[in-house]
Each structure stands twice: as structure tokens, then as C-alpha cells.
Chain A
């Protein structure tokens, strides 16, 4: 595959949380300003010639019909090209991929990818996660996001002996990392005992096995490697990306102990980057539930299928582990403002690769960071992006 390389020159996000005091556009402005301020040698926003907006559910802030195109004027760029991207939970990561293709194609020179999601302005009952299945005749009565993932946990426990303690260890680790992340929604430690004793949601998933509903925004600025020299001496490059789909419904799945869309998306991204899972130094993956991170680290090839629970319990994915996973606190602690999630994960990867992650900094050996989301009603779509410090 021949493609022009893409460089990341800036990235930033706002403090995730319940942001009732900020509008959709105000959140976007905060993330945009953070990304602009992060550019090493200064950045004039007028350089931007295209914006890709990642928002999954505009209905949650009451403006589905115009979702996305209110952003340019909110960030002082009215007139710029602007396109909204929506692709379920990987909305942010796919908007990044689309932005990269716009640069790699030579059509656009400097591109802003910005993810914004209002999750809390509506009640939980009306919220995006509770209504993940709304509109489908079969799924609207009796299903919610945790119900869709609980059977995967049941099967993983049945087939591999995974325990609730192993699931809980993912929440413990990610909350610990969240304490170290100033942008995280939750910044408190939890213990295995607390996770086990939390109120049940749907067995075997209890409250602390589930990510919160979080408002947030994140932004990233990309350009060509040639132009990047105008803005930074320490660019991070896009090594590869991949997208894959699967049957959307649980009953059409070939397996409940893995997500085939993740396997295929990562295979494509690894191939494009010319690396394998062992070359990845750090990963930000989709931990909407504790079981999801266990499936992810297996499907991405970091651990053997079936060992995800044991590897988590034994610390292989901790900040000082063999393959640190979700140093930002992940969706479980940092939060999951859907359109912003992937771009916030990429921002963490950018910080990690540049050695700017402060107390969360992990050892960077090979110069590769992987970012992953999976989503849709039955996890029918996955996106993987790989960043690198290596210029070629």
C-alpha cells in the first residue's frame, strides 16, 4: 500500500465530566484551544483548511439536524470546510482516520479533527447508552449497553475460567491511572472488594465494571510531514489504521469470547504500519466494560485468547507492566463522551510517545502507540489507529 504520511502536530482535551455548565460549542472551543496551545512552535488557526467533527448522537443536545457544522464559527473558523463523521463508539477514531486520508490524499494540508459529545444533558433513561438499541423492534425491550456485553463475560468465564476478580482488576487499574490523569472524570482509587460489592447492573457486570456517562471534547491537528517541520521538532506520525465491521446483532456473532471486528481492524492497521502487536509500547483501548478490555487485549494480540483476565489480574497491563493499557484511565475512569473518546485516546498516545504523560508515563521502547474503539449495537464496527515517533 502506498500512501503519503501524516504527522500529528497538536492535541488536547478538556476535563471530562458532567459539564452542565458548558454548551456543545463551548466544550469544542475548550478542546480546540488546548490543541492549538499544544503546538510546540505556535500555531495560527487560519492554517486549518478542513475540519472533521466527531459527534455520535446530536439528539442528546437537541440539534441532530445540524450536528457538526456549528463548530467552525464556535472556534473562529467560519468558512472552513467541515464534515461530521459518525460511526458508533469508534466515531472519534474514525473521524481521525478520515482526516488522515484527507491529508494523505493531498486534498487538504492542515486538518483539525475534533470530537464533542453531550452525554448528560438528558436523563440516563433517555441517554445514549440506555437507548443504544432504540428503534429496533426486537432490542428495544429488555436490552441496554451492559446487557449486550454481559453475555460475553458469561461466555468468557465459562470457556476460560475468567473470574469476577479478574474483571474487577481492570477497573482497579484504570481507576488508578485515572487518579494520575488530570482530565479524567473519576479520580479515585477503587479496590477489588469495592468493585465486587458494587450494585449489580446485569450479572456478572456490577456498577464499577461499567464506564460512566461523561461529557467531553478532544481535538487533534494533523498535517503532512513536510509541513509539520513548521510547527514542531517532535512530530508524531500516523503509522497505520484499520476499520472492520461485523454482523450487528448478537445472534449473528460467530463467537462471544472475542470481537472479530477488532481482530480484523487491528490486522489491517498492523499490516499498514508494518509491525505486530509485540512492537506496541502502549495502548488506549475500548473499556466500556471491564470485560471489553479483556476481549480487546486478546483480540489486538497483546495476550493469547483466553488469558486476558489472568493477564489483567497479574499486572501485565499496568503502567509498569509488559504492555501498559489505558494509562489515561480508559473509558472506565476518564469517561466515554463517544465522539470525543477516540480523539482523547489519541491525545494520550501522543503525550505518551512524546514523553509528556507525567506520572502516567510508560516506557517507550519501539515508538509505537495503538488506539482502539469498538462499538455499535453488537460491537459491529471497530477502528484501530497506530501512532509512531518513527518518521518512516
Chain B
């Protein structure tokens, strides 16, 4: 059960009643390409025919780091994991950056299945809800 903390920023994701989190990006009607976060224009073609589009919940780990030096505004524990996850899409792959729920990422390997989850992040302005990537294939697709 997710605590009731406000979203880190509006419009980035949708939370389900069951605690799941779905990232909301955009898809250009002309280019067909998916992007995140949602932009008024397709980042690859500049087309302004973008509609909201849900991202897949399941992806693969592509690059990662263990952050030992806390960034400004962050009030949670260190180290924490941070990385890039690849999601398959009709026209290739989409990469999304974000926190990894595993603090020590050294044991992770490229291609590890990752699932998008909700995470409550302590900040200097109070807790906020954000997305994170957890190893495994937990939950329904």
C-alpha cells in the first residue's frame, strides 16, 4: 500500500487503486514513436501531433549506478540505485531513467527484467511519490 504522498510532478504517471504505477508518455501520430516524459512535440521529429500514451510496465536494465553522494533536496538514505531501463515499443526501444529499488547495484546485470513501481521519496520538502524500477517481473503486465 502506497503512502499518500503527492506526486513528484504532475502528469508523469497514474497511480492505480491497487498501488501500481503507470508512466504516461506521449506518442506522435505521424512518427509513431513513444517518448517520456510527455512533451508537446515529438523529440525525434518535432511533430506536434502528440497524444498521451501509457508506457509498458516491464523492461530491461540497461545502465546503472549506485549513488553515494546525495543530490540536493534529497532527504532519504544513501547509497541508492539509479539507472536506465529499456522498454520495447513497436518502433524500437524507449529508455527511461529513474531510481532503482536496489541500493547496491553492483550485483545487477545488463538485461535484468525490471518492473515499474511506485516509491515514496523523502525530500527536504516532505515525502513525494515517484516511480522506480524494481528487479523482477512482479505483478500483472
Contact = CB atoms under 8 A, between A and B. Distances in A.
Interface string B24-38: 000000000001110
Nearest to A146: B69
Contacts of A204: 65
Contact of B71 (A147, A150, A251, A253): A147
B72 A144 contact: yes
Contacts of B72: 125-126, 130-131, 134, 144
A78 interface: no
B9 A138 contact: yes
Contacts of B98: 142
Contact of B68 (A153, A155, A200, A256): A200
A199 interface: yes
B123 interface: yes
B12 A142 contact: no
29 contacts: A126-B72, A137-B8, A141-B121, A141-B128, A141-B130, A142-B67, A142-B98, A142-B121, A143-B71, A143-B82, A144-B72, A147-B82, A151-B64, A151-B83, A153-B65, A155-B62, A201-B68, A202-B65, A202-B82, A203-B106, A204-B65, A247-B44, A249-B43, A249-B97, A250-B84, A251-B95, A256-B62, A256-B63, A256-B84
Contact of A200 (B43, B63, B66): B66
Contacts of B65: 147, 150-151, 153-154, 202-205
A140 B9 CA distance: 10
A141 B43 contact: no
A251 B94 contact: yes
Interface of B: 8-9, 12, 35-37, 43-44, 62-69, 71-74, 79-80, 82-84, 94-99, 105-106, 110, 121, 123, 128, 130
A252 interface: yes
Contacts of A153: 65
Contacts of B36: 251
A364 B61 CA distance: 46
Given A142-B99, A251-B94, A137 B82 contact: no
A154 B73 CA distance: 25
Interface in A108-160: 125-126, 130-131, 134, 137-138, 140-144, 146-147, 150-155, 158
Contacts of A141: 8, 71, 73-74, 121, 123, 128, 130
A126 B37 CA distance: 26
A153 B84 CA distance: 13
Contacts of A199: 68
Q: In which size bucket is the chain A interface?
A: 35 or more
Nearest to A152: B63
A247 B36 CA distance: 13
Q: Sorted from nearest, which 4 A-B pairs have the closest CB atoms?
A: A137-B9, A150-B65, A151-B63, A203-B66
Contacts of A143: 71, 82, 97
B94 A154 contact: no
Contacts of A247: 43-44
A180 to B, nearest CB: 30
Given A146-B69, A151-B84, A202-B68, A138 B63 contact: no
Nearest to A125: B72
Contact of B73 (A137, A140, A146, A249): A140
A200 B66 CA distance: 9
A251 B64 CA distance: 13
B69 A138 contact: no
B105 to A, nearest CB: 7
Given A202-B65, A247-B44, 4 more contacts: A147-B67, A153-B65, A155-B63, A252-B44
Contacts of B68: 199-203
A138 B95 CA distance: 14
Nearest to A207: B69
B128 A251 contact: no
Which has the most chain B C-beta neighbours within 10 Å: A134, A138, A153, A205? A138
A213 to B, nearest CB: 13
A251 B12 CA distance: 15
Contacts of B74: 141-142
Contacts of A203: 65-66, 68, 105-106
A147 B121 CA distance: 17
A130 B138 CA distance: 34
